Amino acid sequence: MSDCIFCDILSGQLPSSVVYQDDQCTAFMDIQPVNSGHLLVIPNLHAQGLADLQDELAAHIFRVAKRLSTALRSSGIKCEGVNLFLADGEAAGQEVFHVHLHVFPAIKETDLDSSFLQGIHRSRTGQS
């Protein structure tokens, strides 16, 4: 897909810091991290939304995220918990229309951006 930043990363047209790659998906550091250690896991083939993924590929992406969560906890990055976030569709806040699962460490005193998490909560409850 010619106008997809993640496809450009996968093809080597744009730089990235890949931390994991197999024949189905790739994980790399987010260029605009919520906090240190923020990763993205994406399918290697373009898929705009979850409905475009085969069930097994979706499950594989989450299995990889689980492994990365374990790695984050033992990496030396401050990590008291892990957040997974996937926006599916514009109304959900998806900005890059290639499925991507955010994996980022959480710590109690971080400003992990409580506003980020509160914004998610507000959008789900209809609050503003």
Residue 1 has pLDDT above 70, yes or no: no
pLDDT score recorded for residue 37: 94
DSSP code for 126: T
pLDDT score recorded for residue 108: 79
Residues in the chain: 128
**β partners of residue 106:** 81
pLDDT score recorded for residue 121: 42
Please give the Cα distance from 8 to 48 (Å, whole number): 14
Residue 115 has pLDDT above 80, yes or no: no
* Residue 100 among the catalytic residues: yes
Please give the Cα distance from 12 to 9 (Å, whole number): 5
- 59 closest CA partner among 101, 17, 89, 14: 101
Domain with residue 115: its CATH number is 3.30.428.10
Q: What is the pTM of this model?
A: 0.85
- 21 closest CA partner among 85, 64, 53: 64
pLDDT score recorded for residue 5: 96
- Number of domain units in the chain: 1
Residue 110 has pLDDT above 80, yes or no: no
From 38, 60, 98, 100, the catalytic residue? 100
Q: What is the pLDDT of residues 45-97, one digit of tens each?
A: 999 999 999 999 999 999 999 999 999 999 989 899 999 999 999 999 999 99
Structural domain boundaries, residue 55:
5-125
Range list of H helices, 51-95: 55-73
Q: Residue 1 in 3-state DSSP?
A: coil
pLDDT score recorded for residue 52: 97
